[in-house]
C-alpha cells in the first residue's frame, strides 16, 4: 500500500492506494500535516511508501520524520515519465502538471488528452496521442479572481464563491459573482472548443478543488474527477517503479 500526497498552494490532499484501489481521500491544512499523516499511517499499517507531489511551500522535513516507518518519495523532474516533454522551458514545468500529464497518458492511452486543473490557478495541459506533452496555459482560479478584484480596487468587497443567479448581475456582488463564475466557465468552454476543433479523439479531464462546482456549468462533455492528481500520483509511482 502507498499514500499519495498532493501539497497544493492552499491545502494538502492525500489518499491510500493498494494497486488501483483507493481506500479514502483526505483533505487538511498544511499546519496539520504531521498529525494527519500519522493518523493515516496508524489506520493503514500496511502502507510502505509515501509519495509526495508538492508545489506548496512546505518543508520536506515534515515528511522525512516518518522515514523510520515508511519510504518517503518526492516526485521530481529527474524521475522517469511516460511522455516526451516538448515544453519550451522544461525546468519550469510544475511537478503537479507533470504528474497530471503522466496520469492522463497512462489512464487514457492512444488519444489526445487535455487536463484542466481548477484550483488556486487553472492549468491546462495537453498531451497528444503520440504521448508528447505539448504545453498548455495557466490562468487565475476563482479564489484569485475574487481576491484580485478586492485587492486592486478601492471599493469592491472580498466575496466568497457563490453561484450567480444570472449572467446579468443586478448588484455589485451579483455582477462580481457573474464575472468570476461565468467568466471562468466561458474560458474553460472556449479552450475545450478550440482543442476539439484542432484535434480529433480527445478526452477532456477536469480536476482540482473547484472541479465539481464547475463541471455542471460547462456545456462541453468532460470527465470530471476532483481527485485525479492523487490517482495520477499513484499511476506515476507505479510506472516509475517498473521503469527505473
Q: Kindly list the catalytic residues.
A: 96
Provide CB contacts within 8 A for 179, sequence distance 6+.
145, 149, 169
Residue 210 has phi, psi (to 5 degrees) of -100, 10
Question: Which residues are bridge partners to 140 per DSSP?
Answer: 121
Residues in the chain: 244
Residue 91 DSSP label = G
Q: Are 175 and 136 in contact (CB under 8 A)?
A: no
Q: Are 114 and 124 in contact (CB under 8 A)?
A: yes
CA angle 120, 227, 195 (to 5 degrees): 70
Sheet holding 112-118, edge to edge: 84-85, 132-140, 121-127, 112-118, 202-207, 223-224
Helices (H), the chain: 33-43, 61-64, 95-107, 142-151, 172-177, 183-198, 211-215, 228-243
Taking the CA of residue 189 as centre, how many other CA atoms within 13 Å lie in the half-sphere pointing to its CB?
14
Amino acid at each position: 500500500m502507498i499514500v499519495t500526497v498532493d501539497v497544493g498552494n492552499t491545502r494538502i490532499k492525500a489518499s491510500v492506494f493498494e494497486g488501483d484501489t483507493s481506500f479514502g481521500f483526505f483533505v487538511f491544512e498544511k499546519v496539520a500535516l504531521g498529525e494527519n499523516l500519522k493518523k493515516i499511517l496508524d489506520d493503514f499499517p500496511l502502507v510502505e511508501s509515501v509519495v509526495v507531489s508538492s508545489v506548496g511551500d512546505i518543508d520536506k522535513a515534515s515528511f522525512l520524520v516518518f522515514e523510520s516507518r515508511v519510504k518517503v518519495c518526492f516526485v521530481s523532474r529527474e524521475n522517469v515519465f511516460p511522455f516526451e516533454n516538448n515544453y519550451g522551458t522544461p525546468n519550469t514545468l510544475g511537478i503537479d502538471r507533470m504528474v497530471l500529464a503522466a496520469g492522463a497518458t497512462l489512464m487514457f492511452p492512444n488519444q489526445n488528452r487535455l487536463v484542466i486543473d481548477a484550483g488556486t490557478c487553472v492549468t491546462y495541459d495537453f498531451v497528444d496521442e503520440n504521448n508528447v506533452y505539448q504545453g498548455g496555459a495557466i490562468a487565475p482560479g476563482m479564489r484569485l479572481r475574487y481576491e484580485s478584484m478586492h485587492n486592486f480596487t478601492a471599493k469592491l468587497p472580498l466575496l466568497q464563491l457563490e453561484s450567480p443567479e444570472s449572467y446579468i448581475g443586478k448588484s455589485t456582488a451579483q455582477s462580481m459573482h457573474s464575472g468570476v463564475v461565468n467568466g471562468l466557465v466561458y474560458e474553460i468552454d472556449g479552450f475545450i472548443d478550440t482543442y476539439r476543433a484542432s484535434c480529433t479523439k480527445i478526452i477532456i479531464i477536469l480536476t482540482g478543488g473547484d472541479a465539481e462546482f464547475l463541471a455542471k456549468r460547462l456545456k462541453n462533455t468532460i470527465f470530471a474527477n476532483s481527485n485525479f492528481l492523487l490517482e495520477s500520483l499513484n499511476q506515476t509511482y507505479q510506472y516509475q517503479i517498473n521503469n527505473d
